[in-house]
Every structure is written in structure tokens, then in C-alpha cells.
Amino acid sequence: MMSKTLTRNLRRSFGTRMMPKQTQLFIDGKWVNSANEGIFETINPYTAESITSVQRASVEDVDRAVDAARKAFDNGPWRRTSASERGDLLFKLSHLVKQNSEELEYLEALGNGKSVNVATAGCTVVMKTAEQTPLSALRVGELIKEAGFPDGVVNILSGFGEDAGAHLVRHPGVDKVAFTGSTEVGLNIMRNSSISGLKRVTLELGGKSPFIICKDANIEESIQQANFALFFNSGQVCIAASRLFVHEKIYDEFAEKSAKLASKAVLGNGLDPNTTQGPQISKEQQDKIWGYIQKGKQEGASCLTGGEEYEANNTEYGLAAGVVTQDIGRAFHIVNGLRVGIVFVNSYHSNDITCPFGGFKNSGIGRENGITGYDPYLDTKTVIMSRPEVSISQLIFEI
């Protein structure tokens, strides 16, 4: 009863303007219902209450969205628009996002994405949202329309992976697939994307990121950093530092103080300003975490005792790692030995949008962000042109 009361109070404090308005599919610049009128409930993970019903994209809807994106790319003005003009539209969208940031944050917290920045390269996009968190992406779709993007450049589908997602990946009209999620699903995408022909694939998958605390680290600061590295966004971040390596000389003090800090977390509704750690995204994810804890206990683990030693690289993943030390030489030595795509030194989660983001091994393929992140969306074309005054006989002779 308390949780429902809190949600109602927060809803009143934000006002009805904060409640989700758009629940349809965004295809070819229009808001439409699913072809088969399918819907699904999006759930508040804290209260387990339904937030709203959202249109569920079908295979037919995927075909409509891909056709719209294909038409906008092949025949529309978008890829022929100058980079500066595309940039102007994206800047306009960014201003609209900032103006509506409070509402977007509310929708994200209420329900808990791929960004449309690839449009900068002249690409058109079909985005399938995560079924758990469709609302903020749908609101951005409204802002895309308001910003004046041409119809078909960005299409947004809410649906499930087993039908809409699988069909989108296999669709012959799709040139490039970008996915963020689990390694298991990423492997399926690799297998299925090539059924209709060769496709470029960028996969940003999971990780088991190590956070290494050296003996010369400032203990108080490193405890704060480690806590943030692990529990940020309730630990639901691909680069979350889920494995701590602490030097034996400072281990006992570090473990004791870390446990005290973790115990101060305020669990609750993500909309409550007093909450420091919100719920897991779904009951399924919560059950999975509890399963890991129980398995660890069955194998002899406990919260504050050291176990068998593992090397930082001894995992199938290689997404991120963290190192805390005051010795820059030691930092570079460890960095060079880590088989991961991202290393944070004396910090964590301090990402820069201009820096490539991605991992090694089963943590994914390719990179996002920065100039490197645009490469998979671009084609290289070689053009060899002879000067009018050069005869064909001269060209043949040169060959």
C-alpha cells in the first residue's frame, strides 16, 4: 500500500503532463497502431503496476518501417542533405530534448536505448525499443517530428525480440544492425543477420568488468569509486564493475568500510528523491540476481570473505575495467595487460561521447561513439577518373 501511495503522490507532484502520451508506433513520420492491433503492458518495476498499454509491433509493422526507411534513404532528401543541414536538425532535436529533459527522466525512471545519432551520417533508422522501457523513446519520436526530420528517416517500433526483433535483423532491406544487450542475444543476431545476405553488425554486449585497487590507493576515495562503479543505475550497466580485486595489504579495511557504505543505500521507488538505489528492471532480472547470490552461497561464498583468486582477464568478456593507484607507471603496466575495450584509471563511468565505446571477446564487435562509431555506417567508394586530355592509349601503357 505504501508503494502505491508513494507513486500516486509522485505522479501528482509531476502532474499529468508527465504521464506518457504517445503509445503508438512511429512509422514514416506518422503515429500508427500495430497492423494486428497487438498491445502489451509496460510495468513500473517498483510497484509492479501497469503504467500504460503500448502498441506491439508485428512482422508486418517491421516491413512497413523498413520500407519507409529504405524509401527515405534511396529516394528521399536525407542522404543528399549537407552535413551542416543535418547537424542543424540534430542540434534542434538536442535543444528539444533538453527542454523536455525532466519529462524524459520521469518516463525513464517510471519504466526503468539505440540513439538516432547515426542519422548524422545520412543513414535512415528503424529503432526497436527494449520492451521493458519503450516510453522515453516514443517521446523522443514526438520530438523528432517536432524538430522537422523528413518522414521515414527515423522509425520507432515497440515490440518483442522473438517476432519484431528477429524479423528486423533478418530483413533484406536492412544494411546494418546495431544491438545493445546480452551476449546470448548478440550471438543469435550474428547468426540470423546473414540469412538474407551480408550485413554489418555492431554488438555492444555484456561484461564482467574488474575493478583493481592497488596497495597505494587512497582507501576512502577508492571505496566511493568502487561503490559507484558497481551500484550505479542499480548495477544495470554493461560496464558495471562486478568484480573487485583489492590488494591484500588493504583488503580487510577496504572490505569492512565497503560493506558499511553499501548498507547505507536507500532502496525504493526510482521517482523518490530519497532513493539511492531503485529496483531491477523486471522480476525476471531480480530472480536471476537472487539465483547468483544463492549459487555463490552454495559454493561457499559469503559477503565479506575472500575466495579463490582469479585473474582480471579470466573471463569470456572484455568490456571494461578500472584501476585505482597513485603510481602512473603501475597504472600503465596494468592497462597494457588488460584485455578490455575501456579502462578507467582513478575513476569509473566517466565516459566521453567522443571516445570509442565497446569491448573485446564476447563483449561485442565494433565500437560506438566518436569518429570510430560512425565508420560502420559509412561505405568507402573508390573513384578513378582520367583527365580529358589523357588518351586511352596512355592509360593502357601506364597499366
pLDDT digits 0-9 by tens, 363-394? 988 888 888 888 888 888 888 777 776 666 66
Question: Of 103, 131, 204, 368, which one is the catalytic site residue?
Answer: 204
pLDDT of residue 113: 40
- DSSP H stretches of helix in 101-248: 101-111, 135-147, 166-170, 183-193, 219-231
Reading phi first (left if > 0) and then psi (alpha if -120 to 50, else beta), residue 205 is in beta
Residue 297 has a CB neighbour count (10 Å cut-off) of 11
Mean pLDDT (whole number) for 64-93:
93
- Could you tell me the fold of the domain covering 210-376? Aldehyde Dehydrogenase; Chain A, domain 2 (3.40.309)
Q: Is 204 a catalytic residue?
A: yes
Q: Which of helix, strand or coil describes residue 320?
A: strand
Question: Beta strand 360-361 with 317-318: parallel, antiparallel or unpaired?
Answer: antiparallel
Percent of the chain whose pLDDT exceeds 90? 48
Q: How far apart are CA 79 and CA 153, in angstroms?
A: 10
Q: Give the single-character DSSP code of 80.
A: G
Residue by residue, DSSP assigns 206-260 as ----EEEE-TTS-HHHHHHHHHHHHHGGGG-STT---EEEE-TTTHHHHHHHHHH
pLDDT of residue 168: 97
DSSP bridge partners of 72? none
- In contact, 120 and 130? CB cutoff 8 Å: no
Residue 95 has a CB neighbour count (10 Å cut-off) of 12
The dihedrals phi and psi of 42, each to the nearest 5 degrees, come to -105, 130
pLDDT of residue 8: 44
Q: How far apart are CA 153 and CA 26, in angstroms?
A: 11
Candidates 65, 79, 270; CA nearest to 174 is 65
Q: Give me the half-sphere count of Cα atoms (radius 13 Å) on the Cβ side of residue 120.
A: 19
Selection from 224-233, 295-304, 389-398 with the highest mean pLDDT: 224-233
Q: Which residue has the higher pLDDT, 296 or 85?
A: 85
Whether the per-residue pLDDT at 41 is higher than 50: the answer is: yes
**255 Cβ contact list (under 8 Å, min separation 6):** 246, 304
pLDDT of residue 392: 62
- In contact, 248 and 359? CB cutoff 8 Å: no
- CATH pick for 2-204 out of 3.30.830.10, 3.40.47.10, 1.10.150.120, 3.40.605.10: 3.40.605.10
pLDDT of residue 307: 30
Least confident range from 21-25, 280-284, 389-393: namely: 389-393
Give counts: helices (H), strands (E), the chain. Answer: 13, 15
pLDDT tier at 300, thresholds 50, 70, 90: confident
Whether the per-residue pLDDT at 3 is higher than 70: the answer is: no
What's the mean per-residue pLDDT of the chain?
Answer: 84
Q: Which residue has the higher pLDDT, 203 or 293?
A: 203
- In contact, 92 and 21? CB cutoff 8 Å: no
Least confident range from 58-67, 146-155, 160-169, 282-291: namely: 282-291
Mean pLDDT (whole number) for 293-313:
60
- Taking CB atoms within 8 Å and a gap of at least 24, the contacts of 272-279 are 272/6, 272/10, 277/231, 277/234, 278/45, 278/46, 278/109, 278/234, 279/45, 279/46, 279/234
pLDDT digits 0-9 by tens, 110-133? 555 445 557 778 899 999 998 888
Q: Which of helix, strand or coil describes residue 42?
A: strand
pLDDT of residue 224: 95
Mean pLDDT (whole number) for 58-83:
95
Q: How far apart are CA 123 and CA 145, in angstroms?
A: 17
Please state the domain extents for the chain.
2-204, 210-376
Query: What count of residues does the chain have?
Result: 399
pLDDT digits 0-9 by tens, 175-224? 999 998 889 999 999 999 999 998 999 999 988 899 999 999 999 999 99
pLDDT of residue 2: 36
pLDDT of residue 18: 55
- In contact, 156 and 25? CB cutoff 8 Å: yes
Name the grid cell of 174. 536492412
Helix (H) or strand (E) holding 155: strand 154-158
